[in-house]
Structure 1
Amino acid sequence: MSFHWKSEDSDMTEENVSENMSKAKQKELQAAEKTEEPEDLKQLLVKAGEAGSYEDKLRLYDKALTLDPLFLDAWIQKGFALDRMGKSKEALDCYDRALEIDPENLGIRCLKGFAFNNLSEYEKSIESYDEVLKVNPDDVFSLYQKGLALESLGRYGEAMKCYDNALDIDPTDVLIREKKLRLLEVIYKKGTLTDSPDSDFN
């Protein structure tokens, strides 16, 4: 499964991961001719999507999971809602439960990367994106997000390589190009990368 999407901004990017992941999973299930979720479960997700607050969404996700504790989309969407509420540790628990159901789902690993980033656990965020890149090394989204995490750690040379790799794959991505230029400005102002383990970057 590929997660090569445009990165308009961090919020929209995160939502794209969640939405595209659900669509991709639905197509996989249909292709495998698996039984669709009962109508009441699907309706709960529809209602959750229309709910005006994350608290209301969580109540509906919890109701769905009471009916079916293995309902993958409910675990993913519950994790997403918790992360948006600033409850990233609880979100990670949901994503781990989702991975128990679907261990090969790369989108969930991307969402874990977001949650770790929100907790300022940048090393773990990088590990999450690396897991995706091992399977799909041309995933522009994961390269970009990994670059952001590396930049937060002051590892500017490695971050620049991520942005360069992403632009090699998709030279039209304006956001990544702008981010690369901003990072170059930071590097030039510092005049050195001695605070970074990759000071041999040139």
Structure 2
Amino acid sequence: MTEKNVSEKMDKAKQKESQAAEKTQEPEDLRQLLAKAGETGSYEDKLRLYDKALTLDPLFLDAWIQKGFALDRMGKSKEALACYDRALEIDPENLGIRCLKGFAFNNLREFEKSIESYNEVLKANPDDVFSLCQKGSALESLGRYGEAMQCYDKALDIDPTDVLIREKKLRLLEVIYKKGTLADSPDSSFN
């Protein structure tokens, strides 16, 4: 074998190695984009990075979820819902996305839709404390205090140490006390 042949084979091997490295780096680049987005304080910068990741891979689930979360935090909950719907197309069984949809509907003050989202989660996981708490908040916003109290009570049965839910329950009891009624409670005839 001549020196020229050896050199050509080495060049081809390096080229193949370089191409293989590029293919394995692309997913790493996506994760790096998400990590960089997580480090930036600006939601606009986060969105640019999520969009860049989605340009590289339109099926990148985490980018859709994080983009939706950033949009919701920016007060763009309708746009966030579109991202969550896209994420659910990719992973229809993801309960976390359904929770996030419920949160976005809460922010839009579409409490019935919010409750539907949390009910979907609770159907699959009846002991999801976060969904119980958020469903309780949505019910409370609709003035359905008895149902809200039931959600808080069930959540506290599951996790009696949850301070946030205890506070929500105490605030609801205060509201009920001031109004003098728990109109939709099973024991409302005793008020």
- Please, what TM-score do these two structures have when normalized by structure 1? 0.78
Report which stretch shifted further, 40-49 or 156-165: 40-49
1:102 positional shift: 0.2
Deviations 1:64-101 (A, max 9, x none): 00010000000000000000000000000000000000
Find the aligned partners of 1:19 and 1:187 in 2 and give their Cα distance. Answer: 83
Report which stretch shifted further, 20-29 or 35-44: 20-29
1:115 positional shift: 0.3
The structure 1 residue matched to 2:104, chosen from 115, 136, 142, is 115
The answer (yes or no) to whether the contact 1:57–1:81 under 8 Å persists in 2 is yes
1:54 positional shift: 0.4
The answer (yes or no) to whether the contact 2:181–2:188 under 8 Å persists in 1 is yes
Q: 1:136 to 1:40 in 2, by over 3 A?
A: same
**Where does structure 1 differ by over 4 angstroms across 4 or more consecutive aligned residues?**
12-37, 195-202
1:24 positional shift: 38
The structure number with the bigger radius of gyration is: 2
Find the aligned partners of 1:17 and 1:54 in 2 and give their Cα distance. Answer: 53
Report which stretch shifted further, 29-38 or 172-181: 29-38
1:52 positional shift: 2.3
The answer (yes or no) to whether the contact 1:116–1:122 under 8 Å persists in 2 is yes
Deviations 1:134-186 (A, max 9, x none): 00001111100000000000000000000000111111111111211111111
Of all paired residues, the percent bearing the same amino acid is 90
Q: 1:63 to 1:31 in 2, by over 3 A?
A: closer
- Please, what TM-score do these two structures have when normalized by structure 2? 0.83
Q: 1:130 to 1:154 in 2, by over 3 A?
A: same
2:93 aligns to what?
104
**More helix as a share of residues:** 2
- Is the partner of 1:195 in helix, strand or coil? coil
Q: 1:161 to 1:30 in 2, by over 3 A?
A: farther
Q: 1:91 to 1:23 in 2, by over 3 A?
A: farther
Paired positions, count: 191
